[in-house]
Amino acid sequence: MRVFWELGWFFKERKEQYILGIFLLLIVAFLGVLPPRIIGFVVDRISQDTLTPEYLLQWLGILAAAALAMYVLRYAWRLLIFGSSILLARNLRERLFQHFTQMSPAFYQKRRVGDLMAHATNDLQAVQQTAGAGVLTLVDSIATGGFVIAAMAITIDWKLTLIVLLPMPLMAYMTNYYGKLMHQRFHGAQEAFSGLNDKTQESISGMKVIKTFGQEQQDIEDFTKMSERVVAENIRVARVDSLFDPTISAIIGVCYFLTISFGSYFVVNGDMTIGDLVAFTAYLGLLVWPMLAFGWLFNIVERGRASYDRIRLLLAEPIDIDDRKDAIDEDPTGDLTVSLDRFQFTGDQRTALRNVHFTVKRGETLGIAGKTGSGKSAILRLLLREFDNYEGSILFGGNSIDSFKKQRLRQAIGYVPQDHFLFSTSIAGNIAFARPDASLQSVQEAAALAHIHEDILNFTDGYATMVGERGVSLSGGQKQRISIARALMTKPELLILDDSLSAVDAKTEEAILKALKKTRTGKTTIITSHRLSAIQHAHQILVMDGGTVAEIGSHEELMRKKGRYYEMYELQQLEALVEQGGEA
């Protein structure tokens, strides 16, 4: 029951609704004890042969009024309590989503998407159930049970009531024992569900690769195994859950046995009337629901507790990249000075970057070259402040990048990542992502700069063409150029192209670079590329090797040096020549 205490903050927030709801529920529970008592009175009149139509009508009238009141009040408390529990789910859902948006890539690296989705769906539903059906079963079982027992003891016979209640401690012990078992098993069931969720998500996203490699059968087998584990875990839960009903029914059976044995003895002895015994038996029938509800309560509460524990753990995960208290609320601008002594990716033992020192003057272009895995993207990710755990400093306009508000820093940067991601919306919507209020004209201008305008006009719906799952399929080069247009929309102070021209042909690459040079005067640009043609025009070129700077200088300087850059350049020239069929 600890989960009710832990959800106390929410019950306080919705105090009025819960108090009124519980109050109405208590009235309903009280009204519920009237019918058996009325039946008892009427049976006594019948057995004494003194039943008059007026007497019967009077009680029937009261019964009808009670039934009507219960109908209306039940509706009202359900609305109040279940309505509130829906708000709890909304509240937690929004907090979770907000939390997800603030977490750094390091968080997503160690979490699985399916797992996070299970938190946002299955777990939230279980917590909602606790605040709704959980509160209902708790209050209703105690109130109805309490009123019925009170009615039995006060209006009929306290001795018979005591006798009948004798098996109750056994029931309390059993339900408590089952509850503990359920808690352990629920954890297993929820984890298995998370795993299955993750598998489904990954298989659907990677269906193309699965099919290409003809691995459908293997994937189906993996899925089936995980699905069977979910079934097995849930059957383990059901095995305990199924024990509640038979246990409660058996105990109720014992109660009936005691009622009939001792009740008939009391009637024969003249301590009770037949009407009393009939009413008592009817009351016993009314005890079935609170006892069953008590069993369900354990189920709901244990499920809710396991889920709420998982949600709280997730929400307690610290935001590792956060704004400082005195963060600068201005867009960063100026020279970029990078002085990195050492950087390791979170959770990785290897040094990803070592002794990387360079300055990019405002308005200049920096090119970064280097073999795959040499640390080019790592530098860019630090500039974006995806990680803070480096030794050294990164200054933007003389201020450390972590002294700016995260939002401000990222607004100042237009980033085109290697792995393009387009949203399932129109092409215009994708380009205007960071400026949703932008005019179509500025969207088209950005698209023209990224050399994708003509392609877009050729699509059936032009800029309104839908992209993604339910839309048009785009080529890698088209996706790249739409991503570049998206980054250009904000006219960023710093534009970062992370190998973003790899899927376009040499002519298109040249045209894009020319357009950038023309429109980005006074603004800084960083381009990483395997193809040196994309960076040879840069004011400065950084050649990375094994996480450190191997060479730095302009194209001419590096060519004169005849070092690594020279070798790479010569090799690429040769490759180009071979591709053209050896004609110089």
Ligand X SMILES: Nc1ncnc2c1ncn2[C@@H]1O[C@H](COP(=O)(O)OP(=O)(O)OP(=O)(O)O)[C@@H](O)[C@H]1O
Contact residues toward ligand X (CB under 6 A) are 109, 345, 348, 352, 370, 372-378, 418, 499
For 452, phi then psi, to 5°, come to -125, -5
Our CB check for ligand X shows the closer of 411 and 572 to be: 572
CA separation for the pair 566, 569 (Å, rounded): 5
Nearest to 161 by CA among 61, 281, 52, 49: 281
CA separation for the pair 367, 549 (Å, rounded): 12
Closest separation between CB of residue 428 and ligand X, Å? 30
Distances (CA, A) of 477 to 376, 419, 490, 503: 21, 12, 21, 5
Our CB check for ligand X shows the closer of 109 and 389 to be: 109
Closest separation between CB of residue 372 and ligand X, Å? 3
CA separation for the pair 336, 472 (Å, rounded): 39
E strand intervals along 209-343: 336-343
Our CB check for ligand X shows the closer of 66 and 380 to be: 380
Alpha helices by DSSP H, 33-52:
34-48
Closest separation between CB of residue 171 and ligand X, Å? 55
Cα torsion for 182, 185, 191, 196, to the nearest 10°? -100
Our CB check for ligand X shows the closer of 360 and 379 to be: 379
Whether residue 124 contacts residue 87, with contact meaning beta carbons closer than 8 Å, is answered with no
Nearest to 230 by CA among 260, 259, 190: 190
Our CB check for ligand X shows the closer of 212 and 372 to be: 372
Alpha helices by DSSP H, 346-475:
376-383, 406-411, 427-431, 440-449, 453-458
Closest separation between CB of residue 525 and ligand X, Å? 17
Strands 540-545 and 548-553: antiparallel
Our CB check for ligand X shows the closer of 143 and 544 to be: 544
Closest separation between CB of residue 106 and ligand X, Å? 8
Which residue, chain included where needed, has tokens 């009261």? Answer: 62
The enclosing H or E element of 550 equals: strand 548-553
Our CB check for ligand X shows the closer of 45 and 531 to be: 531
Closest separation between CB of residue 499 and ligand X, Å? 6
Nearest to 135 by CA among 290, 14, 301: 301
Our CB check for ligand X shows the closer of 302 and 499 to be: 499
Which residue, chain included where needed, has tokens 């832990």? Answer: 6
Closest separation between CB of residue 500 and ligand X, Å? 11
Our CB check for ligand X shows the closer of 199 and 376 to be: 376
Closest separation between CB of residue 449 and ligand X, Å? 24
Closest separation between CB of residue 314 and ligand X, Å? 21
Our CB check for ligand X shows the closer of 301 and 544 to be: 544
Our CB check for ligand X shows the closer of 96 and 380 to be: 380
Residue 168 in tokens: 């109750």
Closest separation between CB of residue 320 and ligand X, Å? 14
CA separation for the pair 424, 497 (Å, rounded): 23
Our CB check for ligand X shows the closer of 91 and 418 to be: 418
Q: 495: exposed, middle or buried (C-beta count within 10 Å: 0-12, 13-18, 19+)?
A: buried
Closest separation between CB of residue 239 and ligand X, Å? 42
To the nearest 10 degrees (0 to 180), the angle between helices 53-102 and 34-48 is 160
- Which residues are 549's β-sheet partners? 544
Closest separation between CB of residue 574 and ligand X, Å? 21
Strands 413-416 and 399-400: unpaired
Give the burial string for 154-172 (b: 16+ CB within 10 Å, else e): eebbeebbebbbebeeebe
Our CB check for ligand X shows the closer of 160 and 487 to be: 487
For 567, phi then psi, to 5°, come to -60, -45
Distances (CA, A) of 295 to 22, 175, 177, 247, 291: 20, 6, 11, 10, 6
DSSP 549: E
Closest separation between CB of residue 418 and ligand X, Å? 6
